Amino acid sequence: MRGISAPTGVPTLRRVTQSSDAGALGAHVVVVGAGSAGCVLAARLSEHPRRRVTLVEAGDVSRAVDLPPAMHASSFLDAAELPGRTWPSLRATRAAGQPARPYLRGRGIGGSSSINAMIALPGLAADYDEWVSVHGCVGWGWRELHPHLAGSALELHRAPEREWGEVNRALALALPSAAGGVLLTRDVDGRRVSVNDAYLEPARDRPNLDVVGDTVVDRVLLRGVRATGVRFASGDEIRADTVILAAGAIHSPAVLLRSGIASPGIGANLHDHPSFPITLRRQAAADPRSLPIATVATLSSGIGSGGVDDLQLLPIDHLGPSAPDLGVLMAALMRSSSRGRVRLGSDDPSDDPVVEFDMLADEADWAPMQAAIDAAERALDHPAFGAVVDVVPFDRRRDAVLGGLGDYVHAGGTCAMGTVVDTWCRVAGHDGLFVCDASVMPQIPRANTHLPVVAIAERLAAILAAVG
């Protein structure tokens, strides 16, 4: 991957460090989830021909040539609207008192990397160094992760300005940090490059790699504290020496909870990047199939120790065929202290987990969130915006902000390293059972989370290959 260079507090329940056999892999590894982490792990671990790898995915696992064209289109809205590409009934409560609303999570080959906005940001060095200094995640600082952030197999390109819509152009004129555009996971022709494209598809013909689709995992099979395989929702089972859950920050903790694993912290520490959407009425409708996001503005609130590059303004040029005349400017808080939880509504794997973010519950988040809205208002006052959009009036009082609060679908933290898993991502107190996805992040970085998750998977695969 090219284009990434080095950029200039949840209470720990207990410190978890690896034992000498924590990374040992057996002859058969089952990876659950074919998303940003799972595709990377399946591809990397199957590079060793004497190891058998089975990748299990809840949705469709068609080969790349058989995927619908919308999976590679410029607009992530096209991909997300395809049947079966998201969890259709998954809902989440963003803030206390808010009704639960749909929460977008990718389903099928490539996971959320196949439906996201393609933004590739690494976060700050301080984000990862804090994992070490505050959470005890030795080996996961910037020095260790930067090579994987900068050297992944993902193809990255900025969209040429001729593809930018009016809202993105206006933001680039209003704020210097948005000028030049943002790196996107796409090729030179503008086609999306998901982890399926970059990692899994080149490995699919390996005789030691099996990819199983349309199969929901119910629970991990255990013999004492050792994982011995997984049971599917159908009741079928597959035996393995090692199980790696890579089902994401919502579904990985749900599988652990259904498995009866009682490690403290499973499902806790849930957080996302809270955002406040400001609706813009375009003076001329956009092409609903055009690229919605090409730029991002990063700003600093200056509030507290985390007040550097902790705010983001994200322009969305249109809302697809249903609303080509509307755009949005998202004012987001990229570092928050508030925490929520994932819990089971029932033990039935066909029932969605209960997802409660509790955003802005910590008073420390309120001032920087206000600063993000301030920054959005200043940007919208720029003549570049006035020439192309009208701002739909909005209420920024506390109750109104809480009522309209959104997210970035960047859920993380629910199987945090240092609490639920050790520094080799093994579930504490268990053998042969790992978690690797955004759930292991003790604090999500000040960046869109896809690229960091890929880097985490690359690093874990390298660790496991070295010892297993």
* Residue 9: per-residue pLDDT: 30
* Segment 140-193, tens digit of pLDDT: 999 999 999 999 999 999 999 999 999 999 999 999 999 999 999 999 999 999
Tokens standing for residue 426 = 């093994």
* Residue 19: per-residue pLDDT: 38
* CATH, residue 389: 3.30.410.40
The domain in which residue 328 lies consists of: 157-182+275-335+360-404
Domains in the chain, number: 2
Indicate if 394 and 374 belong to the same structural domain: yes
Domain boundary among 350, 384, 404: 404
* Residue 20: per-residue pLDDT: 38
* pLDDT of 13 above 50: no
In a domain, 345, yes or no: no
Average pLDDT (66-88) is 96
* pLDDT of 12 above 50: no
In a domain, 33, yes or no: yes
* Residue 21: per-residue pLDDT: 44
* Residue 26: per-residue pLDDT: 82
Indicate if 172 and 259 belong to the same structural domain: no
Tokens standing for residue 27 = 């002859």
* Segment 113-152, tens digit of pLDDT: 999 999 999 999 999 999 999 999 999 999 999 999 999 9
> Can you tell me the distance from the alpha carbon of 243 to that of 222, in angstroms, rounded to the nearest whole number?
10
Average pLDDT (272-284) is 98
* Segment 217-249, tens digit of pLDDT: 999 999 999 999 999 999 999 999 999 999 999
Indicate if 121 and 263 belong to the same structural domain: yes
Indicate if 264 and 374 belong to the same structural domain: no
In a domain, 429, yes or no: yes
* Residue 176: per-residue pLDDT: 94
> Can you tell me the distance from the alpha carbon of 371 to that of 274, in angstroms, rounded to the nearest whole number?
13
In a domain, 139, yes or no: yes
* Segment 445-454, tens digit of pLDDT: 999 999 999 9
Convert the chain into a string of H (helix), E (strand) and C (coil): CCCCCCCCCCCCCCCCCCCCCCCCCCCEEEEECCCCCHHHHHHHHCCCCCCEEEEECCCCCCCHHHCCHHHHCCCHHHHHCCCCCECCCCEEECCCCCCCEECCCECCCCHHHHCCCCECCCCCHHHHHHHHHCCCCCCCCHHHHHHHHHCCCCCCEECCHHHCCHHHHHHHHHCHHHCCCCEECECCCCCECCHHHHHHHHHCCCCCEEEECCCCEEEEEEECCEEEEEEECCCCEEECCEEEECCHHHHHHHHHHHCCCCCCCCCCCEECCCEEEEEEEECCCCCCCCCCCCCCEEECCCCCCCCCCCEEEEEECCCCCCCCCEEEEEEEECCCCCCEEEECCCCCCCCCCEEECCCCCCHHHHHHHHHHHHHHHHHHCCHHHHCCEEECCCCCCHHHHHHHCECCCCCECCCCECCCECCCCEECCCECEEECCHHHCCCCCCCCCHHHHHHHHHHHHHHHHHHC
* pLDDT of 23 above 80: no
Indicate if 151 and 162 belong to the same structural domain: no
- Which string of b and e fits 210-227 if b means at least 16 CB within 10 Å? bbeeebbbbbbbbeeeeb
> Can you tell me the distance from the alpha carbon of 153 to that of 172, in angstroms, rounded to the nearest whole number?
29
Indicate if 98 and 122 belong to the same structural domain: yes
Domain boundary among 404, 419, 435: 404
In a domain, 350, yes or no: no
In a domain, 291, yes or no: yes
pTM for the full model?
A: 0.95
* Segment 314-331, tens digit of pLDDT: 999 999 999 999 999 999
Indicate if 369 and 258 belong to the same structural domain: no
* Closest to 453 measured CA to CA, from 149, 6, 130: 149
> Can you tell me the distance from the alpha carbon of 32 to that of 79, in angstroms, rounded to the nearest whole number?
22
> Can you tell me the distance from the alpha carbon of 159 to that of 180, in angstroms, rounded to the nearest whole number?
9
Mean pLDDT, all residues of the chain = 94
* CATH, residue 454: 3.50.50.60
Indicate if 132 and 19 belong to the same structural domain: yes
* Closest to 181 measured CA to CA, from 314, 75, 299, 295: 295
User: Percent of the chain beyond pLDDT 70?
Assistant: 95
> pLDDT band for position 97 (50/70/90)?
confident
> pLDDT band for position 10 (50/70/90)?
very low
Indicate if 56 and 202 belong to the same structural domain: yes
Indicate if 390 and 255 belong to the same structural domain: no
Residue 343, judged by CB atoms within 10 A of its CB (0-12, 13-18, 19+), counts as: middle
In a domain, 349, yes or no: no
Indicate if 421 and 309 belong to the same structural domain: no
In a domain, 188, yes or no: no
Indicate if 100 and 47 belong to the same structural domain: yes
> pLDDT band for position 390 (50/70/90)?
very high
Strand order in the sheet with 91-93: 101-102, 91-93, 354-356, 341-343
Domain boundary among 351, 386, 404: 404
* Residue 468: per-residue pLDDT: 66
* Residue 6: per-residue pLDDT: 36
